[in-house]
Amino acid sequence: MKDSHFPSKPDHILILHSSTDGHTLEICERIQSILQDHGTRVALHPVHAAPADPGGFDKIIIGARIRYGHHHPDVYAFIERHQALLASRPSAFFSVNLVARKPGKRQPDTNPYVRKFLKQIAWKPDLVAVFAGKVDYRKYGFFDRQMIRMIMLLTHGPTHPDIVADFTDWAQVDEFAELVSGT
Protein backbone atom coordinates (compact mmCIF):
# COMPACT_ATOMS: atom_id res chain seq x y z
CA MET A 1 0.00 0.00 0.00
CA LYS A 2 1.15 3.50 -0.75
CA ASP A 3 1.69 5.37 2.49
CA SER A 4 0.03 8.75 2.23
CA HIS A 5 -2.13 11.21 4.08
CA PHE A 6 -5.74 10.14 3.77
CA PRO A 7 -8.05 12.58 5.60
CA SER A 8 -10.22 11.09 8.31
CA LYS A 9 -13.89 10.21 8.51
CA PRO A 10 -15.86 11.74 5.69
CA ASP A 11 -19.62 11.79 5.58
CA HIS A 12 -20.05 9.47 2.64
CA ILE A 13 -17.80 7.02 0.74
CA LEU A 14 -18.44 5.44 -2.66
CA ILE A 15 -16.97 1.99 -3.25
CA LEU A 16 -17.02 0.78 -6.85
CA HIS A 17 -16.06 -2.74 -7.81
CA SER A 18 -15.29 -4.82 -10.85
CA SER A 19 -15.89 -8.43 -9.86
CA THR A 20 -16.37 -11.46 -12.10
CA ASP A 21 -16.70 -14.36 -9.69
CA GLY A 22 -17.61 -12.37 -6.57
CA HIS A 23 -14.34 -12.26 -4.66
CA THR A 24 -13.59 -8.59 -5.30
CA LEU A 25 -17.15 -7.84 -4.20
CA GLU A 26 -16.51 -9.86 -1.03
CA ILE A 27 -13.43 -7.74 -0.31
CA CYS A 28 -15.44 -4.57 -0.95
CA GLU A 29 -18.16 -5.75 1.42
CA ARG A 30 -15.53 -6.32 4.13
CA ILE A 31 -14.19 -2.80 3.61
CA GLN A 32 -17.74 -1.44 3.64
CA SER A 33 -18.47 -3.20 6.93
CA ILE A 34 -15.35 -1.80 8.61
CA LEU A 35 -16.10 1.72 7.37
CA GLN A 36 -19.68 1.45 8.58
CA ASP A 37 -18.42 0.26 11.98
CA HIS A 38 -16.64 3.63 12.15
CA GLY A 39 -19.93 5.43 11.51
CA THR A 40 -19.29 6.20 7.85
CA ARG A 41 -22.07 6.01 5.27
CA VAL A 42 -20.97 3.79 2.40
CA ALA A 43 -22.52 3.15 -1.01
CA LEU A 44 -21.33 0.03 -2.83
CA HIS A 45 -21.92 -0.39 -6.58
CA PRO A 46 -20.50 -2.30 -9.52
CA VAL A 47 -18.38 0.12 -11.53
CA HIS A 48 -20.62 -0.37 -14.59
CA ALA A 49 -23.60 0.78 -12.49
CA ALA A 50 -21.91 3.70 -10.70
CA PRO A 51 -24.14 6.60 -9.67
CA ALA A 52 -24.66 9.00 -12.57
CA ASP A 53 -23.28 11.83 -10.43
CA PRO A 54 -20.66 10.49 -8.03
CA GLY A 55 -19.79 14.04 -7.01
CA GLY A 56 -21.82 13.75 -3.81
CA PHE A 57 -19.29 11.45 -2.18
CA ASP A 58 -16.40 12.58 0.02
CA LYS A 59 -14.09 9.69 -0.93
CA ILE A 60 -14.10 7.18 -3.76
CA ILE A 61 -12.62 3.68 -3.68
CA ILE A 62 -12.30 1.47 -6.75
CA GLY A 63 -11.64 -2.25 -6.37
CA ALA A 64 -10.85 -4.09 -9.59
CA ARG A 65 -10.20 -7.72 -10.38
CA ILE A 66 -7.73 -9.02 -12.91
CA ARG A 67 -8.92 -11.54 -15.47
CA TYR A 68 -6.45 -12.91 -17.99
CA GLY A 69 -4.01 -10.14 -17.21
CA HIS A 70 -6.39 -7.17 -17.52
CA HIS A 71 -8.58 -4.96 -15.40
CA HIS A 72 -12.10 -4.65 -16.78
CA PRO A 73 -12.63 -1.91 -19.43
CA ASP A 74 -15.42 -0.41 -17.27
CA VAL A 75 -12.80 0.54 -14.68
CA TYR A 76 -10.79 2.47 -17.25
CA ALA A 77 -13.97 4.10 -18.62
CA PHE A 78 -15.09 5.30 -15.18
CA ILE A 79 -11.65 6.73 -14.41
CA GLU A 80 -11.45 8.51 -17.75
CA ARG A 81 -14.99 9.90 -17.45
CA HIS A 82 -14.46 11.11 -13.86
CA GLN A 83 -10.79 12.10 -13.90
CA ALA A 84 -11.43 15.62 -12.53
CA LEU A 85 -13.69 14.31 -9.78
CA LEU A 86 -11.19 11.67 -8.70
CA ALA A 87 -8.44 14.30 -8.58
CA SER A 88 -10.59 16.62 -6.45
CA ARG A 89 -11.08 14.37 -3.43
CA PRO A 90 -9.41 11.55 -1.51
CA SER A 91 -9.49 8.35 -3.50
CA ALA A 92 -8.17 4.82 -3.32
CA PHE A 93 -7.63 1.92 -5.67
CA PHE A 94 -6.98 -1.75 -5.11
CA SER A 95 -6.41 -4.62 -7.48
CA VAL A 96 -7.30 -8.24 -6.77
CA ASN A 97 -5.19 -10.79 -8.59
CA LEU A 98 -3.69 -14.22 -8.15
CA VAL A 99 -0.13 -13.04 -8.84
CA ALA A 100 -0.38 -11.34 -5.44
CA ARG A 101 -0.55 -14.77 -3.78
CA LYS A 102 3.24 -14.61 -3.98
CA PRO A 103 4.65 -12.46 -1.14
CA GLY A 104 6.95 -10.51 -3.46
CA LYS A 105 4.01 -9.41 -5.64
CA ARG A 106 1.67 -7.93 -2.98
CA GLN A 107 2.81 -4.32 -3.19
CA PRO A 108 1.78 -1.78 -5.84
CA ASP A 109 5.40 -1.31 -6.91
CA THR A 110 6.05 -5.06 -7.20
CA ASN A 111 2.77 -6.21 -8.76
CA PRO A 112 3.04 -6.13 -12.56
CA TYR A 113 -0.69 -5.57 -13.12
CA VAL A 114 -0.87 -2.59 -10.78
CA ARG A 115 2.32 -1.04 -12.14
CA LYS A 116 0.96 -1.36 -15.69
CA PHE A 117 -2.47 -0.04 -14.69
CA LEU A 118 -1.09 3.05 -12.93
CA LYS A 119 1.05 3.86 -15.97
CA GLN A 120 -2.01 3.66 -18.25
CA ILE A 121 -4.21 6.09 -16.32
CA ALA A 122 -3.85 9.74 -15.41
CA TRP A 123 -5.52 9.33 -12.00
CA LYS A 124 -3.17 9.21 -9.03
CA PRO A 125 -5.06 7.58 -6.14
CA ASP A 126 -4.07 8.65 -2.63
CA LEU A 127 -3.99 5.04 -1.50
CA VAL A 128 -3.14 1.97 -3.60
CA ALA A 129 -3.19 -1.68 -2.54
CA VAL A 130 -2.95 -5.16 -4.02
CA PHE A 131 -4.83 -8.11 -2.58
CA ALA A 132 -4.36 -11.74 -3.50
CA GLY A 133 -7.39 -13.34 -5.06
CA LYS A 134 -9.22 -16.61 -4.75
CA VAL A 135 -9.34 -19.73 -6.89
CA ASP A 136 -12.67 -21.55 -6.91
CA TYR A 137 -12.70 -23.89 -9.88
CA ARG A 138 -16.25 -25.04 -9.11
CA LYS A 139 -17.58 -21.54 -9.94
CA TYR A 140 -15.93 -21.32 -13.35
CA GLY A 141 -17.34 -22.42 -16.65
CA PHE A 142 -15.48 -25.05 -18.63
CA PHE A 143 -13.27 -22.62 -20.60
CA ASP A 144 -12.33 -20.45 -17.60
CA ARG A 145 -11.66 -23.52 -15.45
CA GLN A 146 -9.24 -24.92 -18.03
CA MET A 147 -7.52 -21.59 -18.68
CA ILE A 148 -7.07 -20.77 -15.00
CA ARG A 149 -5.81 -24.29 -14.27
CA MET A 150 -3.26 -23.88 -17.05
CA ILE A 151 -2.16 -20.51 -15.66
CA MET A 152 -1.89 -22.00 -12.18
CA LEU A 153 0.13 -24.92 -13.53
CA LEU A 154 2.57 -22.51 -15.20
CA THR A 155 2.85 -20.36 -12.06
CA HIS A 156 2.98 -23.26 -9.57
CA GLY A 157 -0.47 -22.65 -8.10
CA PRO A 158 -3.26 -25.07 -7.21
CA THR A 159 -4.72 -27.00 -10.13
CA HIS A 160 -7.04 -29.61 -8.64
CA PRO A 161 -10.49 -28.98 -10.20
CA ASP A 162 -12.30 -29.19 -6.83
CA ILE A 163 -10.08 -26.79 -4.95
CA VAL A 164 -11.15 -23.55 -3.34
CA ALA A 165 -8.10 -21.54 -2.30
CA ASP A 166 -8.50 -18.05 -0.84
CA PHE A 167 -5.11 -16.34 -0.90
CA THR A 168 -6.43 -13.03 0.41
CA ASP A 169 -4.62 -11.58 3.40
CA TRP A 170 -7.73 -10.38 5.23
CA ALA A 171 -5.63 -8.48 7.80
CA GLN A 172 -4.21 -6.48 4.87
CA VAL A 173 -7.76 -5.73 3.69
CA ASP A 174 -8.70 -4.60 7.21
CA GLU A 175 -5.62 -2.36 7.36
CA PHE A 176 -6.58 -0.79 4.03
CA ALA A 177 -10.10 -0.08 5.34
CA GLU A 178 -8.68 1.48 8.50
CA LEU A 179 -6.42 3.73 6.41
CA VAL A 180 -9.41 4.80 4.32
CA SER A 181 -11.42 5.54 7.45
CA GLY A 182 -8.60 7.66 8.84
CA THR A 183 -8.40 5.78 12.13
Same domain, 42 and 98: yes
Domain residues for the domain of 146 are 135-166
| pTM, to two decimals | 0.89
List Cβ neighbours of 36 (8 Å cut-off, separation of 6 or more): 42
Q: Same domain for 56 and 107?
A: yes
Residue 122, pLDDT > 50, answer: yes
pLDDT in tens, 95-119: 999 898 998 899 999 999 999 999 9
24 located within any domain:
yes
State yes or no: pLDDT of 9 exceeds 70. Answer: no
Number of domains in the chain: 2
Query: 183 falls in which pLDDT band (50, 70, 90)?
Result: low
Residue 161 near residue 145 (C-beta atoms within 8 A): yes
How many other CB atoms are found less than 10 A from the CB of residue 3?
A: 7
Residue 4 lies in a domain: no
Query: 170-181 vs 23-37: helix axis angle to the nearest 10?
Result: 50
Do residues 52 and 117 share a domain? yes
Same domain, 21 and 65: yes
Tell whether 118 and 142 lie within a shared domain. no
180, pLDDT greater than 70: yes
